[in-house]
Amino acid sequence: MSTKKHPLSNQSVSGADKIVQILADQGVDTLFGYSGGAILPVFDAVFRFNQINKHLDGSDALPMVVPANEQGAGFMASGYARASGKPGVVIVTSGPGATNCVTPIRDAMADSIPMIIISGQVSTGAIGTDAFQEAPVNSLMGSIAKHVFLITDPEKLEATVRTAFFIASSGRPGPVVIDIPKDIQNHVSLFEEDSLLDLSGYKDRIEKISKNKISEAQCSEFYDILKDSKKPLIYAGGGSIHANISEELKALCENLNIPIVTTLMGIGIISTEHKNCLNMLGMHGTAYANYAIDDCDVLIAVGSRFDDRVAGDPPEFAPKAKKIIHFDIDPSEINKVKGVDFYFLGDIKQAIADLDQYHNEHNLGLDFSAWLKECQDNKNKYAMNYDRNSSLIQPYAVIEKINALTKGNAIISTGVGQHQMWAAQYASFHRPRLWLTSGSMGTMGFGLPAAIGAQFARPDALVIDIDGDGSIRMNIGELETASSYNLPIKILLLNNLGDGMVMQWQRMFYQSRMSASDKSLRKKDFIKTAQADGFDLALRVTENKELDSALKQFIEHKGPAFLEVLIDPEASVLPMVPPGQSYKHMVTGDFIPNRYKESDKEVNSSAMF
């Protein structure tokens, strides 16, 4: 046991100093935040901490990354967390500082991303008086965060901050908000080295689930189901990324020759180029992934939640599956959308490893090679495709060329819209945590700040934000943040002069009435904007013949780079399953074969977006 004395042991220090020291103790190496009156004590404590604690190269031990606004800080912390697997930390002031974080907090909660948000608050005596820059953070955030603390007792400050990290990372991860009045930040008292709040009920539930191991009887039951199967299919979601089960899942797939499909959030759990991988399923999934869902007789859901973008018509989802198996950490997801025949709640990383070991030790000899070959044949027959002879630049081609340069090893973030789906469909990812996107919330403006956060988490990685002209506008002020910190991120703007996904729906379901979505008359010059914000390399491509050389220059540039590509304004995201419909209604267009007759049934224009 280490006997090294804590640097603040038996010292009387301010609450702000305690907060900063605990952040360092938790292994935090980057902070994202914007200052203001109610959080000044903490910002001052960060400054003083960094004066004393320097790295050997002279850099700050706890660098503070300052964005253009607090929403940017939230998404930077989210990008950091998604790329690293560690909680991202945001520090903001009261009132508008906190409320500007509402969207990133909800976004993180929806995608199960661990984050710590520390917000300043007016002094305890002024709470409830509509004081300057006061906002009811506890009430506002309570319904969108995993947990919210309002600290009114200075003696509970340390325990609360430490406990927040435990809550954010345990069980199903999520964002935890700590609202700290200014007088609590200034309160001086002795530093406690290891205090925690008593969360016995929560801890008991979490420990019971996390310590749950799959039994011999459960392993036997699992394989009894597979023995009666001809066409099992693994359906992996974002929970598989959080559980770090890439190697275990890959081994199970390979040993049994079971194909695997992934959700939008599960992309990268197995290499997108692996022979067993059928890529993304769902509304904009590959045709062959959706056909595998239609054909499978056993569906094995791993860290996935049967959301509406996957199971648009739940009774018709996996219609031939005689059995559904579900592995998860969250009890609320079991039987929520689809009834299951077998489930396991607990450490799914160990469970998948134990299942693979059980198969090998008992010489079960299960092999689904014939089914895997059928899926591989479908992958060739119903491959992703587009008009490769068009005189207009096709967005799919741009991403294919990016693949040729990055070899599937780049971290790619996106905004939300068509460009997001094109990246999900056409980009290659050889391992987890390379794909960063706003899934459940679908938040435009996510891509650029998330890329910044990811670059801080992985300074040696190639980080690319694939964005759209509508989405990037939302947080375009963060261009300056990227250049100010001289981050070598690459921003690829696929510009179709409008809100492309909305326009696609308007063409398909609203008789091409482009209400408020056509931005062809907007005056934004993105190249001048990037240059004004300090980008040395800012290029625009308008013709196919310019694309190869521009992309090469863009990727190889040592500093931040910006590339705008004017794409076909009517390029669509295909395949597409209309909302609320089964995969039999999947529209694949002119260049992807469709084994079903494409439905000419008009979708109700009031259907869920």
The residues annotated with a catalytic role in the active site are 70, 132-133, 182, 501
Residue type, 598: E
Q: Report how far residue 521's alpha carbon sits from residue 419's, in angstroms, rounded to the nearest whole number.
A: 20
- What the block records as the tokens of 500 is 């492309």
**How many residues are present in the chain?**
609
Q: Report how far residue 431's alpha carbon sits from residue 424's, in angstroms, rounded to the nearest whole number.
A: 14
Phi first, then psi: give them for residue 495, nearest 5 degrees.
Answer: -100, 110
Residue 402: burial class (beta carbons within 10 Å; 0-12, 13-18, 19+): buried
Residue 292: burial class (beta carbons within 10 Å; 0-12, 13-18, 19+): buried
Q: What is the 3-state secondary structure (H, E, C) of 410-475?
A: CEEEECCCHHHHHHHHHCCCCCCCCEECCCCCCCCCCHHHHHHHHHHHCCCCCEEEEEEHHHHHHC
For residue 376, give every residue at least 6 positions away whose Cβ sits within 8 Å of its Cβ, in sequence order, or none: 259, 275
Q: Report how far residue 433's alpha carbon sits from residue 443's, in angstroms, rounded to the nearest whole number.
A: 19
SS3 helix, strand, coil % of the chain, rounded to 5? 40, 15, 45
The dihedral through the CA atoms of 495, 496, 499, 505 has a sign that is negative
CA R_g for the chain: 25
Closest residue by Cα to residue 68 from 388, 418, 534 = 534
